[in-house]
Structure 1
């Protein structure tokens, strides 16, 4: 019988919370337009340039964590002798697309009912959302994940789900071609793909339509990193278990430093290239994932009830927090101070996410299981993650 890595659920929950906080901070123009050379307010400097960045300004880094975790989980579900693509794709649609569809419909309805033209300027980021006129084409693009469209129109976070679904469709083929080989072959293939995606982005990155597809190519390499981590997880965990506590602490410090890389080299344009930054962040996340399983202290922390609950609702929190934010801003901006609006929206985001988890996510997961069983195409492949370390063996 297999068990879930609850630590990874908690990491996903923390990442979703960081994304939420980062978006709430984007309401403030001083935060959104921060530049070290512009003498921004000291509090903004503290958030952007100090360890506070880890919790208040690491939204993009958190998405990289999502992609790595997806690569890890998908490898374990695909790397099975009885793997069936039909079972896999039905479960992915039920797990990602249907909850997305419900969320985007709610977002569209909230935008139509609550947004208005006399909203004063808040920040450029805020002004990009819920201001686009509805057209049949735009609605169809959002409902069916088709075409190159403005993913900021209703719910800014869906850009990552577009890449997630694209990559999920192709990922089994990539696993069989690249990851099921020897490590040396897999590593060479990963390097080639990374170099090719980087070159293509530099050559054609100025075109919006082309860039979206090339970014999927780039993020495939992040997924593959997660898959390689899953494939060699036993070796990596066992090696880490044998390390002294001081070495583990040093590795954790390195992981956190990599995660905050953008803030550390923010003023050095060459080093802060987003492609290179993604790989640095990915390296840090890989270290963190292994440590979360091989360190008793970190594992116990991540298995706490509060964090496991956060992990359960993480996908819904990711999908619904902006709906809550935009709705509350339009409803109360001229009635309450902004900070009070954000506090109210923060708590409502958790309530909305919990309800969505109960009445959308869980039924969709069960639907995927039912459809694959009913169609007699289910095999011994589950969405759970194998737990390779026996109880009492984590140090």
Structure 2
């Protein structure tokens, strides 16, 4: 695995761990009691991590397609083979926990909706209480289907269909923020297309990777994302405007991760810096007027990128040294981030639902059980299905 891929896998690992920590602090009573705006600075990054997954997905699919172009059938087959064996097993586990913990009667339609998956947070097709993280898979499957069916032609990219996709995404972002009540089916497709624009931003990061991004701009980009994530623009949990801005501000950071080592400094482009500066200033002003946060919390988010840039100027070599030591372990975890993401929630729910277990035992059980499940999924189940279908 090369360094570029290590960087992306490390980010995938950090995003999955952030989701895990977020749900521990939400579901485990002994940890949930400490939730507030201050602890949220460190623990409340679940939705933002999913947005990072979408961006990473767009980047990785583009890089993969460049390296090994595939036909429509090959692409969709590979995606189905990677997504569905683990997903279906997790849905089975979730359905059992629903029956045990929530006493929910088994519904075949409910099971199918979550296994396909077509259940999202804002439609009448409901998610399981003990595994709502499946919502993001509805979006990933949609992204892969559109890309595979319409954007691949004779092992080449169909740019016209990509442009059409981007236009539909922008239109649906606009429709999602309008104060109208649409039929459930339309609402479902509007949000799918709206958030697919974020996936496309990741996809086009690769296309425009000749733009130069310095380490300093990457630091500013990365540590501005918390500020963007805390904005209340349209008071929607999945506000497509906010998360589109989030994805745009992430460009310099991800460009730096996939940069070509031999790229000369002369290719430096100030466009990214100007885009970043405009969005950052607008976001900082917007957050400063938000009455939901105390002045201290606002200051933390607004001055975080500046503080981290100063720290990087003084301790940049130390930061790079530490990162060089942890990147390979993180990249290794990143390869199993899909299983970690899908299985951790029902396991937390299962052990939280047993009131007789103390926290000192409960937390290790959650961690160990999650690790065992990941091992079974990634080293037993997935290789079995790979051999079964790829051999045929």
TM-score, normalised to structure 1's length?
0.70
Is the 1:67–1:164 contact (alpha carbons within 8 Å) kept by the matching residues of 2? yes
101 and 211 in structure 1: CA distance in 2 versus 1, 3 angstrom threshold: same
291 and 359 in structure 1: CA distance in 2 versus 1, 3 angstrom threshold: same
Is the 2:97–2:130 contact (alpha carbons within 8 Å) kept by the matching residues of 1? no
User: Which moved further from structure 2: 14-23 or 133-142?
Assistant: 133-142
CA distance in 2, matches of 1:271, 1:142: 23
Match for residue 22 of structure 1?
Answer: 22
Shift of 1:146: 5.0
CA distance in 1, matches of 2:162, 2:78: 29
Match for residue 301 of structure 1?
Answer: 323
89 and 256 in structure 1: CA distance in 2 versus 1, 3 angstrom threshold: same
CA distance in 2, matches of 1:168, 1:351: 32
5+ residue gaps in structure 2?
Answer: 262-316
Shift of 1:186: 9.2
Match for residue 47 of structure 1?
Answer: 39
Does residue 169 (structure 1) correspond to residue 136 (structure 2)? The answer is: no
Tell me the alpha carbon deviations over residues 263-311 of structure 1, each in whole angstroms, 9 at most, x when there is no partner: 2x34x65899812111121123333222334599559617534422431
274 and 290 in structure 1: CA distance in 2 versus 1, 3 angstrom threshold: same
Shift of 1:98: 1.2
1:194 to 169, 172, 181: 169
Secondary structure class of the residue paired with 1:260: helix
User: Which structure is richer in relative contact order (CA contacts within 8 A, separation 6 or more)?
Assistant: 1
Q: Structure 2 matches for 1:319-338, cutoff 5 A?
A: 319-332=342-355, 336=358
2:250 to 267, 285, 291: 285
Secondary structure class of the residue paired with 1:5: helix
273 and 110 in structure 1: CA distance in 2 versus 1, 3 angstrom threshold: closer
5+ residue gaps in structure 1?
Answer: 33-40, 116-129, 376-395
CA distance in 1, matches of 2:129, 2:341: 16
Shift of 1:366: 3.7
Is the 2:10–2:330 contact (alpha carbons within 8 Å) kept by the matching residues of 1? yes
CA distance in 2, matches of 1:79, 1:305: 24
CA distance in 2, matches of 1:135, 1:163: 23
TM-score, normalised to structure 2's length?
0.70
1:93 to 77, 80, 100: 80
> How many residues of Structure 1 are paired with residues of Structure 2 in the alignment?
327
User: Which moved further from structure 2: 103-112 or 348-357?
Assistant: 348-357
Match for residue 127 of structure 1?
Answer: none
